[in-house]
């Protein structure tokens, strides 16, 4: 485990250099949360509730959703595509540590940093300006695995973007596609289960809902441990898919040459 | 001026031909962009659909604002892609090449590349606008205002372009302008897709200073009989002209401060 | 043609303050240091001159050229090109110059060379007849026809550079600025480009060339300016430059069979690296490589030879 840990702490420390720039960035992205909050207040205010969500809950949803989003968002393709384009990837695949683990732990450092320097200040800001809720202890404890699963599934999705660069020269479309589901189906703007029609029934079971929707439901006390089910299944499935694709990528490289 | 337009048309045509070199992949990317940008609409739809009104506006009325802002945003991304990516020009010193042409630098910059696949987003927002106007009764009910609203994306695009010129000009001094762009382009346009009356004072002020509120909300409000005065129909033109003047002044000042790169 | 008076360019490099909020505080304090890239230089270039402008990296070459072409605004002093200020009347001045930056392309990456040229002709309003005449001339000298329909991104470096230079000359500029036009090219491509530049200069185009290759200067330039630390250290003929720095080239010769050690006399010092390989340092202002070759072949049968040129960095270092 030691090399993975080292990789993670190294990325974390590298990020520390840009604290101030990122703080400005955080203030910038807080504005999206405010916009969502005011939209919900104006939209749901007069009628009291939307679906099973009260106005108060929707406002907290928008704020905590923005916090989660900032904690789990990833660099496009986890930068795998850069190594593929430069050809360095053949060296990285040769290293005696697992490539998937290598990339994931490198990015996990970013996430740790994001949690402390992006998400936490954002939460504070919203807590002061909008209000906050301290969930009861069981929910608080459930938030830990829920967050871990959200971060991990996010990394897997980013890994899929990046690894696709072995077969296509331009991963722009794949990451664009991912981005779209991230905004529409993660729950950052609206709870996924109130999306209209069949979307509201299907998308809560898609991997993107893991990122914001389920942690939010736990945070608001709307769901218990069963909110970990869908994320856990996706974590397992995506791990298998990522590992499978890594094997294929390795083979592809061996056939095509470095 | 005429010469400039002629040259611009020529360069658009050349880039269009280049995009059509791979017809199939070009059509696919437009189609893809259309559907991907539908998700923007989906969010608006979900909110208004489940609550019926936002700030006293119904779905079709908000659809008009959404459509106007959406067209402006997508047209800007199509024809202003180099302005959107402008920080790279400054950081890598590539702006040198732009200054070496005997034409206004903005014209040369804007004509370097176009992202035609984003026309898919224009189609999507356009469809939303047409559909909303249809639900509001079409030309029979709206009369001449129907045609006014159909043409409104023009001023909207002009305003969004001007704002982006100002954002890009800041790169001459600061290099990186991603944060500013997040605030003044992405967040501002996102907020402006709804009636801006729903926001608190500080945000309304911000949306007036970055004048996106004049792109859709102000003129649409009067045109749909939701308040305001006839002035609201002319304001977008005045704002567009003013913003362009300020942006161009900022651009010129930035150009003089440009430091190029390397030795 | 070009007049430069007391030209100076300072760059401000902000100091990033340590500690929390360092970036923001430094933005507000505007603390930092001023770096002078070009320091009070003056010169004049007349029509038809072919001037080499050399110096080590970071000496101020590019900054000067960027001020001459209107890209950068001087901190102090004045620039006049064809009687106008390239900053104040940028579009007017720029329309009469051609510029090639070796590292950057002015062509349209995704379009065939032909379309790039057509767009440039439209941009510089080249009449159709002139355009056709120019193309024929370019094709004669640079053989552009071979890759006329190839998208620029698929051209080899040598082909692209030929395209770039022709593109910069399409509107028949009075002045041509070249920044490292031969960098990374093979001998044959270099030769083709040098011949072309000579031809262009003979037709009356004024050329200012920056390069790292002393052979470019030697073959092409009647006049050399050397800049370092923002100051012009030398402005004169190539002979003048060599008299200052000594143009010590080295000829390395491999003989077919071992040669018993010989000295050549004539003040030439010969170093035997093995019993069949000799190296001779010689001064180009006194000996031509040809003379030397004749001397060497008197020693034995020559199998192979090559010449090592002094590089600009070490040459300029000698100017102190």
Lowest mean pLDDT among A243-247, B92-96, C117-121, C204-208: B92-96
Whether residue A237 is predicted with pLDDT greater than 90 in this model: the reply is yes
Query: Which H or E element spans position C4?
Result: strand C2-14
Distance from CA of A3 to the nearest CA of B (A): 34
Q: Which residue has the tokens 């490292």?
A: C180
Task: Say yes or no for a CB contact (<8 Å) between A21 and C21.
Answer: no
Helices (H), A17-136: 19-44, 55-72, 80-86, 89-94, 99-113, 120-129
Note the pLDDT of residue C145.
86
- Which chain B residues have any C-beta within 8 angstroms of a chain C C-beta? 3, 7, 10-11, 14, 17-18, 94-97, 99-104, 256, 258-260, 262-263
* Alpha-carbon separation of residue A113 from A20, A74, C68, C300 (angstroms): 13, 12, 47, 72
Mean pLDDT of chain A: 86
Distance in angstroms (rounded) separating the CA atoms of residues B94 and B113: 14
Are residues A4 and A96 in contact, defined by beta-carbon separation less than 8 angstroms?
A: no
In a domain, B263, yes or no: no
Q: Which residues of A touch C110 (CB under 8 A)?
A: none
- Return the pLDDT at A140: 87
State residue C262's pLDDT score.
Answer: 66
Q: Please count the other Cβ atoms lying within 10 Å of the Cβ belonging to residue A158.
A: 24
**Residue B92 CB partners (closer than 8 Å, separation 6+):** B261
Q: How confident is the model at residue A257 (pLDDT cuts 50, 70, 90)?
A: low
- Does residue B9 sit within a domain? yes
Mean pLDDT within B243-251:
96
Q: Which of A18, A20, A169, A170 is the mutation pick for testing C, counting most C CBs within 10 A?
A: A20
* Closest C-alpha among B118, B160, B2, B141 to residue B60: B141
pLDDT at residue A258 in the model? 45
What is the nearest CA distance from A118 to chain B, expressed in angstroms? 14
Nearest to C119 among B11, B97, B260 (CB): B11
C37 interfacial to chain B (CB closer than 8 Å): yes
Backbone angles phi, psi at C101, to 5 degrees: -100, 110
Q: Is the dihedral of CA A53, A57, A63, A66 positive or negative?
A: negative
Q: How many pairs of residues across A and B have Cβ atoms under 8 Å apart?
A: 76
Contact B164, B84 (CB under 8 A): yes
Mean pLDDT calculated for residue range A145-151: 93
C9 interfacial to chain B (CB closer than 8 Å): no
In a domain, B241, yes or no: yes
Cβ–Cβ < 8 Å for B219, B235:
yes
The total number of structural domains that make up chain A: 1
Q: Could you tell me if residue B252 is inside a domain?
A: yes
Residues of chain A contacting residue B46, judged by C-beta atoms under 8 Å apart: 190, 194-196
Token pair belonging to A195: 């999306």
Q: Does residue C310 or residue C215 have the better pLDDT? A: C215
- Please report, rounded to a whole number, the percentage of residues in chain C having pLDDT higher than 90: 27
Count of beta carbons in the 10 Å neighbourhood of residue A139: 21
pLDDT of residue A62: 92
Q: Measure A23 CA to nearest chain C CA, in Å.
A: 9
* Lowest mean pLDDT segment, chosen from A42-51, A242-251, B105-114, C48-57: A42-51
| Contact (CB, 8 A) for B168 and B83 | yes
Question: What whole-number distance in Å separates Cα of residue A207 and Cα of residue C14?
Answer: 46
Spell out the alpha helix ranges (H) of chain B: 2-20, 23-51, 59-79, 81-84, 86-91, 95-99, 105-110, 119-135, 138-142, 144-169, 171-174, 178-181, 188-191, 201-209, 217-223, 231-257
Beta bridge partners of C277: C254, C274
Question: Cα distance from A227 to chain B (closest Cα, Å)?
Answer: 23
Q: Is the ipTM here above 0.85? A: yes
Q: Do A34 and B49 touch (CB under 8 A)?
A: no
Contact check, Cβ <8 Å, B102/C95: yes
Q: Look at residue B254 in the predicted model and tell me its pLDDT.
A: 93
| C-beta atoms of A38 and B54 within 8 A | no
**Quick one: pLDDT band at residue C266, thresholds 50, 70, 90?**
low
Can you read off the two tokens belonging to residue B84?
Answer: 């959107």
* Predicted confidence (pLDDT) per residue in B64-115, tens digit: 999 999 999 999 999 999 999 998 888 888 898 899 999 999 999 999 889 9
Contact A38 B203 (CB under 8 A): yes
Q: What pLDDT is recorded for position C255?
A: 85
Q: Is C268 on the interface with B (CB under 8 A)?
A: no
Residue of C18, C24, C26, C110 to mutate, testing the A interface (most A Cβ within 10 Å of its Cβ):
C24
Q: Is the pLDDT of residue A43 over 70?
A: yes
At residue B28's C-alpha, the angle toward residues B22 and B33, to 5°, is 125
* Residue B219 burial (10 A CB sphere; 0-12, 13-18, 19+): buried
Residue B243 neighbours by CB under 8 Å, 6+ apart: B159, B162, B163, B166, B211
Taking only residues 18 to 77 of chain C, the set having a beta carbon closer than 8 angstroms to any beta carbon of chain A reads: 20-24
Residue B7 located in a structural domain: yes
Question: Per DSSP, what are the bridge partners of residue C54?
Answer: C226
- B-contacting chains (≥3 CB pairs under 8 Å): A, C
CA C225 – CA C209 distance, rounded (Å):
10
C-alpha distance from residue C6 to each of B127, B259, C57, C83 (Å): 62, 20, 22, 17
B262 assigned to some structural domain: no
Cβ separation B194–A28 shorter than 8 A: no
DSSP code at position B185: I
**A173 in contact with chain B, both atoms CB, cutoff 8 A:** yes
A75, two tokens: 């660099």
Q: Say how far apart CA B97 and CA B9 lie, in whole Å.
A: 20
- For residue C230, give both structure tokens: 């923002």
Residue A154 belongs to domain spanning: 2-256
CB contact A130 to B (< 8 Å): no
- Confidence (pLDDT) at C175: 94
β C223-228/C50-54 pair status = parallel
Residue carrying structure tokens 């500029």: C173
Tens of pLDDT, residue by residue over C287-296, are 777 887 887 8
Does B45 sit within 8 Å of A25, measured CB to CB? no
- Yes or no, beta carbons of C94 and B100 under 8 Å apart: yes
Q: Do B48 and A199 touch (CB under 8 A)?
A: no
- Domains along the sequence of chain C with CATH: 46-244 (3.40.50.300), 247-317 (3.30.70)
Reported as a single tens digit per residue, the pLDDT across A101-140 is 888 888 888 888 878 888 888 888 898 888 878 888 888 8
Task: Name the residue in chain B with its Cα closest to that of C9.
Answer: B259
pLDDT on residue B263: 38
Count the alpha carbons within 13 Å of B14 in the hemisphere toward its beta carbon: 26
Are A42 and B29 inside 8 Å of each other by CB? Answer: no
pLDDT at C279 over 90: no
Question: Which 3 state secondary structure label does DSSP give C236?
Answer: strand
Q: Are B86 and B130 in contact (CB under 8 A)?
A: no
- β-strand pairing of C97-101 with C175-179: parallel
In the structure encoding, which two tokens stand for residue B112, read together?
């370097």
Measured between beta carbons, the chain A residues lying within 8 angstroms of C23 are 20-21
Q: Which residues of B touch A25 (CB under 8 A)?
A: 178-179, 182
Tokens for A254, please give them. Answer: 């061996």
pLDDT at B234 over 90: yes
Query: Average of pLDDT values for A40-51?
Result: 86
Residues C95-101 have a mean pLDDT of: 90
Look up the domain containing B70 and give its range.
Answer: 2-257
- Tell me the mean pLDDT in the region C215-224: 87
Contact residues, chain B, for C62 at CB < 8 Å: 260, 262-263
Q: What is the pLDDT of residue B169?
A: 94
Q: Is residue B11 part of a domain?
A: yes
Measure in Å the smallest separation between the Cα of B61 and chain A Cα atoms: 14
B217 pLDDT more than 80: yes
CA-to-CA distance for C156 and C160, rounded, in angstroms? 6
**For residue B235, what pLDDT band results from cuts at 50, 70 and 90?**
very high
| Number of domains, chain B | 1
Minimal-distance CA residue of chain A relative to B176: A21
CB A158 within 8 A of CB A76: yes
Residue B231 bridge partners (DSSP): none
> Which residue carries 């053989």 as its tokens?
C143
């Amino acid at each position: 485990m030691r090399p993975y840990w080292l990789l993670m702490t190294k990325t974390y420390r590298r990020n520390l250099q840009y604290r101030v720039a990122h703080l400005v960035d955080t203030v910038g992205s807080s504005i999206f949360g405010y916009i969502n909050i005011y939209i919900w207040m104006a939209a749901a205010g007069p009628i009291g509730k939307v679906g099973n969500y009260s106005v108060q809950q929707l406002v907290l949803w928008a704020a905590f959703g923005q916090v989660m989003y900032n904690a789990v968002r990833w660099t496009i393709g986890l930068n795998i595509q850069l190594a593929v384009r430069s050809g360095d990837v053949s060296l990285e695949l040769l290293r005696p540590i697992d490539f998937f683990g290598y990339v994931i732990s490198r990015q996990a450092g970013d996430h740790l940093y994001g949690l402390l320097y992006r998400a936490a200040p954002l939460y504070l800001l919203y807590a002061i300006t909008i209000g906050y809720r301290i969930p009861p202890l069981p929910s608080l404890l459930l938030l830990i695995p829920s967050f871990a699963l959200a971060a991990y599934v996010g990394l897997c999705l980013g890994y899929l973007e990046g690894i696709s660069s072995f077969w296509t020269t331009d991963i722009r479309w794949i990451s664009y596609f991912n981005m779209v589901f991230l905004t529409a189906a993660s729950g950052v703007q609206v709870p996924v289960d109130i999306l209209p029609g069949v979307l509201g029934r299907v998308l809560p079971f898609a991997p993107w809902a893991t990122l914001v929707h389920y942690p939010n439901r736990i945070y608001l006390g709307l769901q218990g441990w069963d909110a970990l089910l869908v994320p856990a299944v996706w974590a397992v499935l995506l791990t298998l898919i990522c590992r499978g694709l890594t094997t294929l990528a390795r083979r592809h490289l061996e056939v095509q040459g470095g | 001026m005429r010469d400039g337009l002629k040259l611009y048309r020529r360069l658009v045509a050349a880039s269009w031909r280049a995009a059509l070199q791979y017809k199939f992949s070009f059509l696919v990317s437009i189609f893809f962009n259309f559907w991907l940008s539908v998700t923007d609409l989906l969010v608006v739809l979900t909110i208004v659909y489940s609550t019926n009104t936002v700030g006293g506006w119904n779905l079709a009325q908000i659809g008009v604002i959404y459509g106007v802002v959406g067209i402006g945003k997508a047209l800007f991304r199509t024809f202003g892609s180099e302005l959107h990516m402008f920080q790279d020009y400054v950081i890598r010193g590539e702006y040198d090449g732009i200054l070496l042409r005997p034409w206004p630098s903005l014209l040369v910059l804007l004509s370097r590349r176009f992202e035609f696949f984003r026309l898919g987003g224009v189609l999507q927002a356009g469809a939303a606008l047409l559909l909303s106007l249809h639900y509001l009764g079409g030309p029979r009910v709206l009369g001449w205002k129907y045609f006014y609203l159909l043409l409104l994306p023009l001023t909207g695009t002009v305003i969004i372009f001007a704002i982006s010129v100002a954002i890009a000009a800041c790169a001459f001094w600061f290099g990186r302008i991603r944060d500013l762009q997040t605030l003044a382009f992405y967040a501002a346009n996102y907020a402006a897709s709804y009636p801006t009356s729903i926001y608190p004072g500080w945000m309304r002020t911000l949306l007036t200073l970055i004048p996106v509120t004049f792109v859709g909300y102000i003129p649409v409000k009067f045109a749909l009989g939701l308040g305001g005065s006839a002035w609201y129909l002319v304001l977008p033109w005045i704002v567009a002209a003013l913003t362009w003047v300020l942006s161009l002044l900022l651009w010129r000042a930035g150009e003089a401060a440009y430091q190029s790169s390397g030795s | 043609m070009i007049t430069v008076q007391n030209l100076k360019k300072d760059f401000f490099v902000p100091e990033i303050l340590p500690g929390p909020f360092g970036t923001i505080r430094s933005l507000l304090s505007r603390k930092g240091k001023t770096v002078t890239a070009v320091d009070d230089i003056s010169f004049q270039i007349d029509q038809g001159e072919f001037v080499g402008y050399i110096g080590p990296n970071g000496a101020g070459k590019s900054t000067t050229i960027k001020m001459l072409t209107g890209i950068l605004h001087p901190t102090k002093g004045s620039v006049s090109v064809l009687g106008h200020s390239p900053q104040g009347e940028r579009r007017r001045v720029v329309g009469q110059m051609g510029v090639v930056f070796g590292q950057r392309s002015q062509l349209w990456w995704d379009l065939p060379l032909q379309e790039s040229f057509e767009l440039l002709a439209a941009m510089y309003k080249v009449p159709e007849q002139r355009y056709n005449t120019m193309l024929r001339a370019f094709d004669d000298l640079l053989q552009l026809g071979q890759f006329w329909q190839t998208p620029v991104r698929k051209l080899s470096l040598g082909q692209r550079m030929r395209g770039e230079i022709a593109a910069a000359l399409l509107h028949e500029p009075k002045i041509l600025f070249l920044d490292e036009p031969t960098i990374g090219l093979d001998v044959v491509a270099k030769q083709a480009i040098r011949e072309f530049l000579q031809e262009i200069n003979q037709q009356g185009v004024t050329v200012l060339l920056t390069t790292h290759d002393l052979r470019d200067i030697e073959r092409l330039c009647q006049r050399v300016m050397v800049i370092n630390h923002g100051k012009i250290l030398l402005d004169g003929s190539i002979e003048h430059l060599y008299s200052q720095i000594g143009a010590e080239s080295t000829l390395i010769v491999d003989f077919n069979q071992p040669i018993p050690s010989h000295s050549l006399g004539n003040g030439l010092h010969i170093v035997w690296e093995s019993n069949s390989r000799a190296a001779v340092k010689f001064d180009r202002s006194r000996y031509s490589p040809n003379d030397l070759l004749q001397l060497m072949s008197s020693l034995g049968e020559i199998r192979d030879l090559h010449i090592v040129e002094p590089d600009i960095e070490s040459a300029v270092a000698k100017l102190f």
